[in-house]
């Protein structure tokens, strides 16, 4: 029979939680995870009840409550953290050759200007349609979780574009405007483990020492976690790299993060989707 005691433990309001994953970064015990797009307490014995995660939630979805729960178990925490570390280090089961790091050689663009070969977006009465673009991608893979910090796909000192997974689809001229002259890594702060993303990005910063980082995230609230992870990785890596935060609206407009007006939550004046 499991022993329980009355003690503080985290409680998550699923209606308020948008799955941004910022709380996971603040939980050193690995007690939280994103499951089906929401933060979940994966084990009561993993929560120490100190509430270090509370200040990380931008939606106020977390609170400490006093209730019956199993005692905090440090041994269980050590096991959980070891499992998380091993899962991050484990090779992909498919042995996919597409995850092998490599450079993509490009001919020198006309005029010697990076990205000059990329075409422009043509405007017509019906809106924007793509012109003739040449890829500005210079390495593979592009998915952060597939990159090996010990064998980085781009050289030290690169300018890095860290983009949300949805950004390349939403931006009308990625290769002509954002990507030329930059390395790129894409990640999703909602559907990937934020702690694993933080650890991978921290190691990548340490290995590649990027000269600058541009974060491009979508305007949806759950995507703010990507900026949080980038700034925390810069701090933990000790690189002090300058980070520029940009927000991409769903209609393709690029706005500096400090000028962006957060989207209204449903029921608080937001337009119906």
Task: Return all residues near 216 (Cβ < 8 A) that are at least 6 apart.
Answer: 161, 162, 163, 164, 167, 171, 178, 246, 247, 248, 254
Residue 97 within a domain: no
End residue of a domain, out of 55, 89, 123: 89
More confident site: 110 or 36? 36
Residue 166 shares a structural domain with residue 254: yes
Return the CATH number at 19: 3.30.70.20
169-201: pLDDT as tens digits: 888 777 888 899 999 999 998 888 888 899 999
Residue 226 within a domain: yes
Stretch 87-100: mean pLDDT = 54
Residue 253 shares a structural domain with residue 140: yes
Q: How far apart are alpha carbons 249 and 247 in whole angstroms?
A: 6
More confident site: 167 or 123? 167
Residue 144 shares a structural domain with residue 78: no
Return the CATH number at 143: 3.40.50
Instruction: Give the pLDDT of residue 96.
Output: 52
End residue of a domain, out of 52, 67, 89: 89
Residue 143 shares a structural domain with residue 213: yes
Q: How far apart are alpha carbons 56 and 121 in whole angstroms?
A: 39
Q: Can you give the residue range of the structural domain that contains 31? A: 5-89
Q: What do you get for the CA distance between the two ends of the chain, in Å? A: 49
Q: How many domains does the chain have?
A: 2
Residue 272 within a domain: no
Instruction: Give the pLDDT of residue 109.
Output: 52
* Residue position matching structure tokens 């484990």: 90
Q: How far apart are alpha carbons 5 and 1 in whole angstroms?
A: 13
Stretch 230-237: mean pLDDT = 94
Q: How far apart are alpha carbons 251 and 198 in whole angstroms?
A: 29
End residue of a domain, out of 34, 55, 89: 89
17-73: pLDDT as tens digits: 988 888 888 888 999 988 888 889 999 999 999 888 887 788 899 999 999 999 999
Instruction: Give the pLDDT of residue 126.
Output: 39
Residue 216 within a domain: yes
Instruction: Give the pLDDT of residue 211.
Output: 96
Residue 243 shares a structural domain with residue 165: yes
Q: Are 45 and 73 in contact (CB under 8 A)?
A: yes
Residue 165 shares a structural domain with residue 72: no
Residue 29 within a domain: yes
Q: Are strands 32-35 and 38-41 parallel, antiparallel or unpaired?
A: antiparallel
Q: Is 256 exposed, middle or buried (0-12, 13-18, 19+ CB in 10 A)?
A: exposed
The dihedral region occupied by 181, where left means phi > 0, alpha psi between -120 and 50, and beta the remainder, is left
Query: Which of 163, 212, 161, 222 lies closest to 191 in space, CA to CA?
Result: 222
Q: Kindly indicate the confidence band of residue 79, based on its pLDDT and cuts at 50, 70 and 90.
A: very high
* Residue position matching structure tokens 């007006």: 261
Residue 67 shares a structural domain with residue 166: no
- Write the DSSP symbol of residue 263: P
State yes or no: pLDDT of 212 exceeds 90: yes
Q: Are strands 121-124 and 139-140 parallel, antiparallel or unpaired?
A: unpaired
Residue 154 shares a structural domain with residue 219: yes
Q: How far apart are alpha carbons 97 and 146 in whole angstroms?
A: 11
Residue 174 within a domain: yes
Residue 83 shares a structural domain with residue 140: no
What share of the chain in percent tops pLDDT 70?
77
Residue 187 within a domain: yes
Residue 143 shares a structural domain with residue 253: yes
Query: Which of 72, 182, 185, 161 lies closest to 118 in space, CA to CA?
Result: 182
Residue 155 shares a structural domain with residue 72: no
Residue 173 shares a structural domain with residue 243: yes
Q: Kindly report whether the global pTM for this prediction surpasses the value 0.85.
A: no
Instruction: Give the pLDDT of residue 10.
Output: 94
The string of DSSP letters for 37-88 reads TEEEE--GGG--SS-TTGGG-TT--EEEEEEEEPPP-HHHHHHHHHHHHHHH
Q: Kindly indicate the confidence band of residue 107, based on its pLDDT and cuts at 50, 70 and 90.
A: low
Instruction: Give the pLDDT of residue 265.
Output: 44
Residue 16 within a domain: yes
């Amino acid at each position: 029979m499991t022993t329980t005691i009355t003690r503080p433990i985290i409680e998550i309001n699923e209606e308020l939680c948008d799955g941004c994953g910022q709380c996971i970064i603040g939980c050193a015990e690995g007690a939280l995870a994103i499951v089906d797009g929401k933060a979940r307490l994966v084990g009561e014995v993993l929560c120490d009840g100190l509430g270090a995660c509370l200040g990380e939630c931008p939606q106020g979805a977390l609170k400490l409550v006093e209730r019956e729960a199993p005692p905090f178990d440090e041994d269980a925490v050590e096991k959980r953290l070891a499992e998380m570390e091993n899962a991050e280090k484990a090779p992909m089961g498919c042995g996919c050759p597409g995850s092998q790091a490599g450079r993509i050689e490009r001919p020198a663009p006309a005029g010697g200007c990076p990205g000059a070969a990329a075409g422009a977006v043509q405007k017509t009465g019906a809106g924007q349609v793509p012109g003739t673009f040449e890829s500005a991608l210079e390495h593979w893979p592009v998915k952060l979780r597939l990159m090996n910090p010990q064998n980085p796909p781009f050289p030290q000192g690169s300018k890095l574009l860290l983009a949300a997974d949805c950004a390349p689809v939403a931006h009308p001229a990625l290769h002509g405007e954002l990507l030329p002259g930059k390395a790129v890594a894409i990640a999703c702060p909602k559907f990937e483990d934020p702690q694993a993303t933080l650890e991978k990005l921290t190691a990548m910063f340490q290995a590649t020492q990027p000269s600058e980082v541009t974060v491009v995230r979508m305007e949806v609230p759950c995507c703010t976690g990507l900026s949080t992870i980038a700034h925390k990785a810069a701090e933990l890596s000790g690189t002090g790299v300058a980070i520029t935060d940009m927000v991409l609206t769903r209609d393709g407009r690029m706005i500096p993060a400090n000028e962006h007006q957060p989207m209204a939550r449903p029921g608080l004046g937001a337009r119906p989707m």
